[in-house]
Structure 1
Amino acid sequence: HYTNSIEKLVKDTITLKNKNETLKNKIYRQEEFESQLKYTFTLEERNNISQKIHDELGHTLSGTVFQLEAANLLLDKDMKKAKALISNTIDKLRDGMDNIRNTLKEIKPEKEQIGISKIMLLIEEIRRSSDVEVILFHDNYIDKISFIHWKIIHDNVTESITNSLKHSGDNKITINISVINNKLIKLEIKDNGIGVKKINKGMGIRGMEERCESIGGKLIVDGSDGFSIISLFPIDF
């Protein structure tokens, strides 16, 4: 009896150790994935910053260089005009610096703004390329949504819209993103198409399922009234 107890204790200890290792590996992979997402968003943000600053500097400097050259030519001929040009150039440079500062403030968004902006950009592309009306709703708690959540939301929205455009014959798609009780994220994509009696889980739906399940969530598909796909996943996973 004593030997059996020892053996059971050893087995339980090994099992617990293995579970701990599995959990540690899962946490590590999630941290690595989120780190990569943050890096990707950072690169996108830097690209936007560099482009906007480039445009602002180009606009400011092209005018001021011309004025300074003119002032330089006038220095020996008309000091008063030269001083006026230099003063005007200084004012323009100050305005340009203020505009650059404002640009930097505007283009340093929070993670939820980055996430929702990518969804809005996707919607805008759909509106331009089709006759389908796409409407986006979200609540005031999207700041709870992490980078890894936004990545899944974006991918599932993209896949859902692609499926709707291909198969449903709809002219309206509604997207709703909400945070429930600070614990659960709900993404619902619904169209007003013909719907289906039997759900065929092709690669697209399976991919969405796998993305949800990778962070402890699930996917609910309903074809009875148009086509509806709900992604549910916990905030903490």
Structure 2
Amino acid sequence: MSEPRDASELLKIGYKVALLVFTVGQSLSSETSITPWYILSVLLYLSTNLLFYMLKKESFRSLIAVLSIGIAIAMFQDHPLVILLLPAHLYELASTFVCKQGIASSLLMMIPLLLVPRQLILLYILIAAVTLIYFSTLKLYDNKLRGQHSELERMRGDLERVHTRLQENNEFLRQAEYTLKLEERNRLSQDIHDNIGHAMTSALIQMEAAKRLIKINSDQASLLLDNAIHISKEGIESIRFDLKKMKPPTEQMGVNRMKLFIDEFSDKHPIRTAFTYEGNMDFISPIHWKIIQDNMKEAFTNMMKYAGATAVSLHVQVLPTLIKATVTDNGQGKGKIVKGLGIIGMEERAAAVGGTVIVDGSRGFSVTTLIPYTP
């Protein structure tokens, strides 16, 4: 709360200084002699006013305001213009005691009219009116700033609470992810124990029995071996089936990775994004997905720097012998493309697998990565 108050008080100090300079200047230009007492009184007046704004307690401030008024009245006998300093102090004195400062200040400002010389009445009324308007405006300004400062503090507190909750949620997600991994490992271990362990144990028992019967009853031993082989095959097929269920397809891994990157990009930048694909995504190998993703990131970065676009899209298409990944935007474009390190890097990545990169700036920017593959 101190910043709005400090700004308001600085403006009040400036107003008082301007009044003091005016009165002192008028005194110097008049025939009134400037005595050491007058100089001392001015210095005391300055000191009390500075002390008024250094103190924070309202009770102390009211005493300092009364002291400043007393100094001004003491100087009034020899220098009548000092009476023009009273309206500012009377307004501040009223502000320490009553809520309706405008009414109280107006009444207090009228009291010195009993002492003001006739030739200064109009000037005093003018100074009093200007002081009332100026200080009332500062009060409104101060209240508005205090309200904004309070709102800012409230929003800062809300932001800290949201940040704390986000950290707690992230920690919860990490714990949940770790728990899911443990549960999956436990499930896999249990499946292997139940399916493979029992099968291998049964096969081992039958092979031991066949070993003992091979010289006594070869037919029975052969039957036991056939059963053991059959059980072992079933166990191996069960392992393959479980692993196949656990391993996500190549298409799903690549497409989801692209979607994740584009969603993160949309969250960080106010740009519309779109991702589409067609064809058999299983033909795109992990190294091909890596090249497409790296080139897409570079194209998005260049678009943010130079294109001034509001929308960008990625389209991946699997053709009979080519993988085509195109990034397009609705930006300004450019007739002549100057190859920088970014474009050269994209070309090198594509060339490593026999592919190429085509950059076009005729209608916005478009970057097309072509990668050959064997079906």
- TM-score normalised to structure 1 length: 0.56
Structure 1 position 173 matched with structure 2 position 298: no
Structure 1 position 113 matched with structure 2 position 252: yes
Structure 1 position 185 matched with structure 2 position 320: no
Task: Give distance in 2, aligned partners of 1:55 and 1:143.
Answer: 27
Unaligned runs of 5+ in 2: 1-172, 184-242
Unaligned runs of 5+ in 1: 1-47, 59-103
Moved more, 208-217 or 106-115: 106-115
Give RMSD over aligned pairs: 2.8
How far 1:50 moved relative to its partner? 9.4
Query: Larger Cα Rg: Structure 1 or Structure 2?
Result: 2
CA shift in 2, pair 1:180/1:56, >3 Å: closer
The residue number in structure 1 matching 2:278 is: 139
Structure 1 position 207 matched with structure 2 position 345: yes
Structure 1 position 224 matched with structure 2 position 362: yes
Task: Give distance in 2, aligned partners of 1:55 and 1:236.
Answer: 38
For 2:323, the aligned partner's letter is I
Q: Which residue of the other structure, out of 251, 264, 287, is the alignment partner of 1:125?
A: 264
**Which whole-Å deviations, capped at 9, do the CAs of 1:63-88 have from their partners, x for residues lacking one?**
xxxxxxxxxxxxxxxxxxxxxxxxxx
Aligned partners of 2:250 and 2:281 also within 8 Å = no
Task: Give distance in 2, aligned partners of 1:158 and 1:52.
Answer: 27
Task: Give distance in 1, aligned partners of 2:246 and 2:368.
Answer: 31
- TM-score normalised to structure 2 length: 0.36
Q: Which has the higher strand share?
A: 1
How do residues 76-87 of structure 1 correspond to structure 2 at under 5 angstroms?
none
Identity of aligned residues (%): 40
> How many residues are paired up?
144
The residue number in structure 1 matching 2:372 is: 234
Structure 1 position 198 matched with structure 2 position 336: yes
Structure 1 position 52 matched with structure 2 position 52: no
The residue number in structure 2 matching 1:39 is: none
How far 1:108 moved relative to its partner? 3.6
How far 1:200 moved relative to its partner? 1.2
Q: Which has the higher contact order (CA 8 A, sep 6+)?
A: 1
Aligned partners of 2:279 and 2:319 also within 8 Å = no
Aligned partners of 2:278 and 2:318 also within 8 Å = yes
Q: Which residue of the other structure, out of 303, 306, 309, is the alignment partner of 1:164?
A: 303
Q: Point out 4+ residue stretches in structure 1 off by more than 2 angstroms.
A: 48-53, 55-58, 104-108
Q: Which has the higher helix share?
A: 2
